[in-house]
Amino acid sequence: MSSIDTESDEEAQRAHMATTALLARRTRLTRSLRDSPYDLVLYIERAVAHSELGYPDLAAGDAYRALLLTDEVRDEGFEYHEVAAEALRGHEERGILGEGPGGGVTALLEVASTRCYRILAISLLLCGCLKSAHEFCERGREKAPGDEELTQAQEYIINLARRRLKTETVNPEDFPDQGLVRREVYPWNDYEPDRYSKETLEFLNAELAKVAPKCVALVTELPTLGDVLDTGVDSDFTIPTNKQLGLFAKEDIGPMETVLHEISALTVNNSQVYPLCDACSTELPDVGSEEQCVPCEECVETVYCSQDCHDFAMETYHPAVCDREVDGIAKNTHQRETANMLHLLLLGRALAMSATQDIHPLELKEVKYIWGDFLPTSSNAVPYSPQAGPPPVWTLPFSFRANITGPLDMLEKMEIDVFAGLDKYDLWIFNTLYSKFRGTASARVNKLDGRPEVAAVHPLWCLANHDCDPNVQWEWGMRMKLWARGERIDGRSPGVAKGEEIMNHYCDIELPVQERREWAKGSLGGYCMCDRCRREAKKEEEVAANGVDMAAMVSMVNGMSMVHDISKAHEMAANEQPNGVPEVSGIRQIT
């Protein structure tokens, strides 16, 4: 073994030991917050731990809660003033991370506020949320005009904004505010189940028996999505695969026969034009029609299309939001934020379900077993070594409003204590829910302006994997309906034979192969490698070999990809992501 290898091993061991110590510190601080949930100093200390672990988003979340508690201490009329002030007095002797000892509560408050602004500015900068980072710099410098860290952070934010916007003259109002963060099963997440265990399959199949009696969930192997746009695949090339859950026919299913009929409480809408059912988001019956709307008895603004939907809502989510205008937080937004706000509405619905059913959000059956497109923690980790390669590409879209303030505002509207409820309502829990929603949500667009106005997560429907030559098709009305196709793309006999996998489609299968693969790259994270895509790409390769410059064609396709992705990023986030990866909505759209 060379000296370089030995140094590398020792460095990896030191990094592992440092991470282990930081995780242990985070665990201790989280336990302390359970006992003293209004202690702003504990939040600041945990923010530092999160920052050192490479989670700037979680650091920003902790710093923001600490900042809220500084307001509670300052204002005697605030709800948590007494408990927050008492907790802060307990730190008078030792100060906050060594700053401000012995100066009394007033001095500690100034130190705490400045610390919060520093952490928020730098953490949001690292997440790519430049506008929010700049705003906290401005607020912090108003409180502490001479603070060097805030001044340096602001200069860096402005310089980065110039590079991102490609102009020397910048307006903070135009700064990008959509970033990316780590998408993973956090090391402390004890709620994520083994999706391939016997117990998981037994539960899913019991649920399937109610809505898809001819189907069974099984573990299967899928082609791994490609990292590069291969034009075709040689016949002797082995396609790499990965383990996933899939839906299979346990008996023959005839053409046009219904495969699945599912309703989900995770259905939300932001329609500003048509009145929609609060539970299933179908259009409400016209006044005077035979079918009559059913309003909530307590808040007449909430209306359902039927008694069944009314009763379903009362059992699953509505009591937590009744007459509280929770959804208003994510409605009436700019068009470019529509997809983000639909995801926020889905998060709000999950929080309402959790409160109504008195269950942890990650234990809800509607989200517990669904795919989250998680990457291993080691793939997301920021390298310690100066000789390390480039930093990882994070994949979870993140903004200060959608991930931090929006969820907290919703919880406050529901009259839930956002400090004492940390075990259920920590930021990493919101991020985990977002990861699952962005991998599985479907959307219905407004027929007038093409904007997504309804989004839903159907946990059993999304077990069916994607193929560009599907044997089923789907329609979303009051319920998600899946049925066997009457004809196949490649001319095979329609229907689904016993033992055959149910293959769904999440894009327009009439598109050319390059466009279908580009969709998969944007929505699923890699280029589609299904049989049809490989077959059609191979044909294009053969045509190209008869006179078309293959390199030029691939270059052209990749160029089209970049134009498409950048265009989509402008539409959905109005800017390019900090690491060059545009945000995608993660919503499968239908009209």
The residue-averaged pLDDT of 221-234 equals 65
Count of alpha carbons within 13 angstroms of residue 484, beta-carbon side? 23
pLDDT digits 0-9 by tens, 94-147: 878 777 666 788 889 999 999 999 999 999 999 999 999 999 999 999 999 989
Give CA–CA dist 422/438, Å, rounded. Answer: 23
What pLDDT is stored for residue 556 in this prediction? 43
The span from the CA of 222 to the CA of 247, in Å, is 12
Mean pLDDT of the region 7-31 = 89
262 three-class SS = strand
The tokens describing 328, both together, are 């208003």
More reliable by pLDDT, 273 or 21:
21
Cα–Cα distances in angstroms (integers) from residue 538 to residues 231, 329, 534, 543, 590, in the given order: 6, 49, 6, 9, 29
**Does the structure show a pLDDT above 90 at 542?**
no
Q: What is the pLDDT of residue 334?
A: 64
User: What number is the average pLDDT over the span 234-252?
Assistant: 82
**What's the pLDDT at 561?**
39
Note the Cα 134 to chain centre separation in Å. Answer: 24
Does the pTM of the predicted model rise above 0.85? yes
Domain ranges of the chain: 22-177, 186-591
Residue 256's pLDDT band (cuts 50, 70, 90): very high
d(CA 330, CA 14): 44
**For the chain, percent of residues with pLDDT exceeding 90:** 60
How many other C-beta atoms can be found within 10 angstroms of the C-beta atom of residue 519?
Answer: 21
Q: 141-168, pLDDT tens digit by residue? A: 999 998 999 999 999 999 999 999 999 9
What's the pLDDT tens digit per position in 332-387? 666 667 788 999 999 999 999 999 999 999 999 999 999 888 888 877 787 655 45
pLDDT band (50, 70, 90) for residue 564: very low
Q: What is the pLDDT of residues 316-336, one digit of tens each?
A: 999 999 999 898 888 766 666
The DSSP annotation for 327-375 comes to GGGGSS--GGGHHHHHHHHHHHHHHHHHHHHT--GGG-HHHHTS---PP
| Domain boundaries 22-177, corresponding CATH code | 1.25.40.10
Alpha-carbon distance 251 to 498, whole Å? Answer: 4
- The model's pLDDT over 276-321, given as tens digits with 9 standing for 90+, comes to 999 999 989 887 677 789 999 998 789 999 999 999 999 999 999 9
Most trustworthy range by pLDDT among 321-330, 511-520, 537-546: 321-330
At 547 the pLDDT is 55
